Amino acid sequence: MDVYLPVANLAVNGLVIVLLGAVTGILSGIFGVGGGFLTTPLMIFYGIPPTVAAASTATTITGASVSGLFAYSRRNGVDYQMGAVLVAGGIVGTLIGTGLFNLLQSIGQIDTVINVLYVVMLGSIGSVMGRESLQSLRAKGGAPKRAAKRRHHPLVSSLPMRWRFYRSGLYISPFAPLILGVAIGILTTLMGVGGGFILVPAMLYILGMSASVVVGTSLFQILFTTMAATMMHSLTTHAVDIVLAGLLLLGSVTGAQVGAKIAVTAKPEILRLLLAAIVLVLALAMAFQLGVRPREIYSVMPL
């Protein structure tokens, strides 16, 4: 079933795109990650231009975040005050990211930069996740370690001005979550990722937030930041392909339900190790692709 993607300017098999979304949805349901950092590389391998893949993935993350946010909101698991500061930073980050995107696009380096960023990001995430999974498997039979008391990073304490974030149990400077939001906004715009795989650990180990509100607050920030990134891409870069986004969303929503059922029966340590292996394979494949001479050295198209 061939489907024409108007922005990507190519015809693709619609079922393959839905299956790509389903694979990402299954992984999201199993491992509890947003899936954006897997969707974009998979589409690039399939032949979708990196710019269109990154911009369109941000759109699907917006839709996928809504249901999760409602669920956490009903359980009082969202710090809206912290979320508002993160969103403000995220919107600033999307403006900066859009400027960088346009600049790199104008000099013809945006595809290369997106690929390099994914190699670095996937390699780092896969290495950390794999090491932690192996440590968990080795320590399985030993006595469980006592959890350390969670505190914010010393650098956060040095920032001026302090606000009370009652739901998170924090008394810190708002500049810390603001800067974090800016960084996530830039990543979202350039790479089409929600940023939850970076935001959640940062909220836990840098800001020192309560674990009960971390995921819900992360979804709140991701929802509005990806909305802003999608709007900026639509208005400036014109790289959002709504047909592609719709097919991906259809597959990911279905796949997430399947993944959630698998996660109930499987061992979490083995699943994390499997995800780490998948991420590292993707990183190596993208690194190899960067060094291989393309079949077409250049292309000619009307301006």
pLDDT in tens, 40-87: 777 877 888 877 887 777 667 666 667 667 767 777 888 888 889 999
In this predicted structure, the answer to whether residue 195 has a pLDDT above a threshold of 70 is no
Nearest to 73 by CA among 83, 61, 63, 64: 83
Cβ proximity of 199 and 184 under 8 Å: yes
- The pLDDT-based confidence of 147 (bands split at 50, 70, 90) is very low
Helix (H, G, I), strand (E, B) or coil at 3: strand
Cα(52)–Cα(95) distance, rounded to whole angstroms? 18
Q: Within 10 Å of residue 112's Cβ, how many Cβ atoms?
A: 12
Amino acid at 265: T
DSSP assignment letter at 169: T
Q: What is the mean pLDDT of residues 224-240?
A: 78
In this predicted structure, the answer to whether residue 130 has a pLDDT above a threshold of 50 is yes
Cβ proximity of 188 and 38 under 8 Å: no
Between 195 and 239, the higher pLDDT residue: 239
Least confident of 32-36, 126-130, 218-222, 237-241: 32-36
pLDDT at 158: 75
- What is the percentage of the chain residues whose pLDDT exceeds 70? 77
- The pLDDT-based confidence of 92 (bands split at 50, 70, 90) is very high
- The pLDDT-based confidence of 88 (bands split at 50, 70, 90) is very high
Least confident of 147-151, 202-206, 223-227, 291-295: 147-151
In this predicted structure, the answer to whether residue 20 has a pLDDT above a threshold of 50 is yes
pLDDT in tens, 158-175: 778 888 888 788 888 888
pLDDT at 96: 92
In this predicted structure, the answer to whether residue 143 has a pLDDT above a threshold of 60 is no
In this predicted structure, the answer to whether residue 6 has a pLDDT above a threshold of 50 is yes
Between 129 and 90, the higher pLDDT residue: 90
In this predicted structure, the answer to whether residue 93 has a pLDDT above a threshold of 70 is yes
Q: Domains of the chain: which residue ranges?
A: 2-139+150-291
